Amino acid sequence: MKSSIFSCIKITLIFSIAFSVQAQSVLLEEVTVTAQKREQDLSDVAISITAFSGDQLRQLGFSNTDTFDEQVPGLMVTSYGGGVTTIFNIRGSQQLDFADQQEAPVAVYVDGAYNSYLAGVGFNFFDMDRIEVLRGSQGTLFGRNATGGVVHLISKRPTQETEGYVEAGGGEYGKYVVEAAIGGGLSETVSGRVSMYRERNDGYTENTNPNVDDHNQIDNWSTRAQLLFEPNEDFSLLINGRYSTDDITGGNYHINRSLVDVGGIPGLPGDGFIQEGTPAQHLAYCQGAPASVGVLSFAPVLGSTNCFGYTDDGNPYTTEANTEGFYNRDHYGISGTMTWNTGIGEVTSITDYQDFKKRYLEDTDSSPLQLFDFFQDMDSNQISQELRIAGETDRTRWTAGVYYLNIDSSYRTGVDGAGTQTSGGAPTDQDFLGAIGISLDNLYTLETETYAIFGQLEFDINDQFTVIGGFRWTEDEKDLNFVPQCGFLSGLADISNANCQGVFGPIVQELGHVQTISEGDWSGNIELDYRPNEDWLTYFKISRGHKAGGFNAAATAFFLPEETAFGSETPLTYEVGAKGTFWGGKARLGASAFYIDYQDFQTFTQVGLSLFLSNIDAEVYGSEIELALNPAEGWDLLFGLSLLDAQQLDFDGPGGVRDRQMPNAPDVSFNGLIRYEWPMMKGMMAAQFDGQYVDSRTLNGIDHPSLIGDDYTILNANVSWVSEDNHWEARLYVKNLTDKYYVPTVFDLAGIQGTNIEQAPAPRWFGGSVRYNFF
């Protein structure tokens, strides 16, 4: 039977190739980008940049921010806690602290407006015009939080042409997706577009507790409405309103044995590192933990996974969590983008308002024991205004502008010792800390206000050489009012009370601590471009970035008051690059090499309940290569390579003072895609395989052996068909074809329950979709 099926497939392929018609290259399509705040062809921008149009995203099967990094050299995206936080990493620069008040060094923009929320940058790619990923510091034009780079998502704008689509899909784990858009002219000068997206699945982590739902669910509704006013050819105003909501179970983790090697454990050096240890070493460690003193009825046993006698079944996709967590998120915003061609230049104004609310609870210990529940609440709004003017002459192009941002937020986060955090249900049980009379319930507010002026000038020395210079000055002020509360469950008390001191030690935060950061700093760039011919562009640039300082404030506050604030980071980058086409236009290459000298890199360490950001110098050597090929009709190939040597310098920790790898910065990562398209059934059929290899990397600021992720390879496949008139599309896909398990992120709980906890990635996942385009 199998031989007959394969024979039919072989005959079909031979027949299709023999009678093929002209197939268009998907990857060599020229994408227009706005990486320098004006429209340019991708090949004309002297930035290490990867861009995909909306059509490319759909045809290549990239559906959200969690997966498209698999074909972007040097970019890593980590999403954990059921989507509660999404982290972008470019060239080793990222924000590992999951506290909601932090801003990331890879700035995320949506339709020209900055999005400050770590919990609000995980997106579905519906009705997109394009996505741009800019690697390296972009501080001149994009501001203080673009030291690692920029991820910019641009929606499809309204046009006078009436068109749209409807798409429906489904797959394993009860997944279904419905997506639709319609747009067109409402009058001769007004056009509109409405888009919507609905996705749900039942979760891929099975909870064997019959009273608790499965985990890693998705239940999202997103919508966008736009109006474009164009009274004449010199003026336009785009109003963009959007809303997204999530209502799902909280995150869950796979747990492993883990211990703090503090000495006295047979066979271990006592060097202070966090290690897995043997079952016997783990038991010896746990016998000195709080579980052995009779506070609870649980006790460590040989071979157990944690110090409370629980033994996990070893399957990362099952759990026995006893607390049904929740993740409720509502994010809405409205923006107005005005462009006006004046006699001096083009004036652009982008005004944006966002409101973000979140409530989150997770069973952090991920066991049937009531040990450790963690919660985060957030209520925030932000408003930003950018006003710029751009112009050009025969030999110059220039941009100048001003920028303002205000973020006003309140937070509540802690450990749910009393079992009071619920989402419309009865309170959960008291956890381990609650049983010994401890509650952590921290309240704080943060207001951020930023002003900036910026400008960039390009000057053509002649037809081959161009010099570029840019400068930005930013003023930041942040006001934190932090009220950490730790005490008896019968009534919260000052954090210095004996109960908390006895468990956590004397280095803790005082009650009601207020701090202010007020600083000004500059970012900028100088660059020389050289065009030897019309097909190639080479460049050398020096750029200085700036990321503002911030505050340590989260579920725990085990640090001195003077350690609350951390300083700004200022990377100085030296970069050379080249991009161009060759082989008669059948190949496109982009390559860069760089050195980054980080002054006061903002590094994050997490050990037990101690979550701490601090500054340390760092340096990064690296390169990126991206090659797209169309070697023959119907064939598309894409290859990407990132090489990094990213080190935190003279880091004092376990093992002494020495250089340590920057977290989540693998030495090598590689991506590849191969796609073949051929005519079939009065349309075009395509088959695609793509994948990514990621080297081993540390997942914490300190290179603890138990907190290092092994190397891994992810493979995907899909087949698709598009009708000859482009009205109908159909697709079948499988993600994670080999069902590979890897560790995208890990947290240490060795000092609390004798484990580390891993966020499980999505397993192998089959699905498909059908789409109808009307125009």
- Taking alpha carbons only, the member of 414, 352, 357 closest to residue 117 is 357
Expressed in percent and rounded to 5, the helix, strand and coil fractions of the chain are 10, 55, 35
Q: What is the pLDDT of residues 453-488, one digit of tens each?
A: 999 999 999 999 999 999 999 999 999 998 777 654
Phi, psi of 298 (to 5 degrees): -80, 150
Q: What is the pLDDT of residues 259-274, one digit of tens each?
A: 999 888 989 999 999 9
Say if pTM beats, i.e. exceeds, 0.85. yes
Strand bridging mode 668-679 / 697-698: unpaired
Compute the Cα dihedral for 548, 74, 217, 221 and give only its sign. Answer: positive
Quick one: tokens of 499? 């109960």
Banded pLDDT at 707 (limits 50, 70, 90) = very high
Beta carbons within 8 Å of 498's beta carbon, 6+ residues apart: none
Q: What is the mean pLDDT of residues 142-164?
A: 95
Banded pLDDT at 504 (limits 50, 70, 90) = low
Compute the Cα dihedral for 673, 674, 679, 685 and give only its sign. Answer: negative
What is the C-alpha to C-alpha distance for residues 398 and 419, in angstroms, rounded to an integer? 58
> 13: helix, coil or strand?
helix
The yes-or-no verdict on residue 561 having pLDDT over 90 is no
Q: What is the pLDDT of residues 574-600, one digit of tens each?
A: 999 999 999 999 999 999 999 999 999
The yes-or-no verdict on residue 315 having pLDDT over 50 is yes
Highest mean pLDDT among 48-62, 65-79, 183-197, 309-323: 183-197
| DSSP string for 442-486 | EEEEEEEEEEEEEEEEEEESSSSEEEEEEEEEEEEEEEEEEE--E
On whether the CB atoms of residues 73 and 134 are closer than 8 A, the answer is no
Quick one: tokens of 407? 């973020």
Q: Which residue has the higher pLDDT, 340 or 483?
A: 340
Give pLDDT, residue 485: 73
Give pLDDT, residue 502: 52
Q: What is the pLDDT of residues 163-195, one digit of tens each?
A: 999 999 999 999 999 999 999 999 999 999 999
Strands (E), 342-426: 346-363, 373-392, 396-415
| DSSP string for 153-170 | EEEPPP-SS-EEEEEEEE
Cβ count within 10 A of residue 122? 22
- Taking alpha carbons only, the member of 56, 33, 57 closest to residue 46 is 33
The yes-or-no verdict on residue 1 having pLDDT over 90 is no
| Beta partners for residue 253, in sequence order | none
Give pLDDT, residue 64: 83
Lowest pLDDT segment from 17-31, 124-138, 742-756: 17-31
- Taking alpha carbons only, the member of 516, 433, 437, 519 closest to residue 482 is 516
Phi, psi of 477 (to 5 degrees): -135, 130
Banded pLDDT at 540 (limits 50, 70, 90) = very high
> 434: helix, coil or strand?
helix
Highest mean pLDDT among 210-219, 283-292, 554-563: 210-219
- Taking alpha carbons only, the member of 324, 390, 394, 402 closest to residue 363 is 324
The yes-or-no verdict on residue 297 having pLDDT over 60 is no
Residue entry with tokens 């001769």:
188
With residue 54 as reference, give the H or E element that holds it. Answer: helix 54-60
- Taking alpha carbons only, the member of 256, 209, 255 closest to residue 368 is 209
Cβ count within 10 A of residue 384? 22
What is the average pLDDT score of the chain?
Answer: 88
